[in-house]
Structure 1
Amino acid sequence: MAMKWYVVHTYSNFENQAKKSLEERIRLENLQDLFGEILIPMEQVVEMVKGEKKTSRRKFFPGYIFVQMELNDRSWHLVKNTPKITGFPGAAQNEQPTPISDAEVARLTSQISEGTLKPKPKVQFSDGDTVRVIDGPFANFNGTVEEVNAEKGRVKVLVSIFGRATPVELDFMQVEKTTG
């Protein structure tokens, strides 16, 4: 029987511990031949903290890990009885879970590699926010957010230049929210 991918539900913010516990139990039970990879899909995000760029990692699916395994009674019980794991979503108490399709796994792995290669700005702006431009030709100007384009990581800001509100399109990294 071939290995398939399964979604496994964990306690929120305990994905890493659940993965480590599962890997340890697989090793102790000598069931490595029934398990493949165990993934916690993550992406890099960039945000401005106190005027400095900060890169951090964010989980694509908080509270879930992805386990490649050959499903049988032993592997199923091992996963279900691992600390910090609550079970397989969508499967009743003693019901076998449904694997993820190969197309979905391919999409997921491409998201993971995309996320690590291309840091994404964390969206922290909304229409009407007051911001200060911190980079570029309009540095030190204040303005009001008119439009947010999260896909492109850009924001349109109305900046007052010579007493007139002028729309300026900027990158998320070029502006910061002003307090108060």
Structure 2
Amino acid sequence: MSMMAIRAATPRDRDAIRLVEEHAFGQRSEAGLVDAIVAQGGAVVELVAVEDGQVVGHILFSRLYIEDDTGEFPAVALAPLAVEPSFHGTGIGGALVREAHIRLKTAGERLSVVLGDPAYYGRFGYSHARAAGFESEYQGEALQALAWDEAPEAGRLVYAPAFGSELAA
């Protein structure tokens, strides 16, 4: 019986990550977003799930800033989270989120933002109520946040430059 392992992504994983993203989303947009964030140096935590030597899951947290009258507050954006379709429902996505959260908290991160399914991300403590005060073109029920420590509750969300071109596509 094989064991799934979670580890930091490496440059050798780039092609496998691209395939997982394309298979999970059925398009190339998310894979392009990942490539752009990594190339621009915006990745904060990037993990892969490996089963029998094959990358079957991927998660990326990039730098995000909350801007207000007092300046910029560093936070992170979870995007994207992808699991090979044949591995859906096996707990890989949840394991990636939990491990990434441990690493982020250990590194001193205080706030994470995600744009996704509230029922799914709510399991990990994300809520729209925590993100409702942020100004964002993505404001709505799918915009959620999770704070591990004191962090702003209002301000304008400024994503990594790669999001401007990829999310608009």
TM-score (norm. length: structure 1) = 0.23
Query: Between Structure 1 and Structure 2, which shows a larger proportion of strand residues?
Result: 1
TM-score (norm. length: structure 2) = 0.24
Rg larger in structure: 1
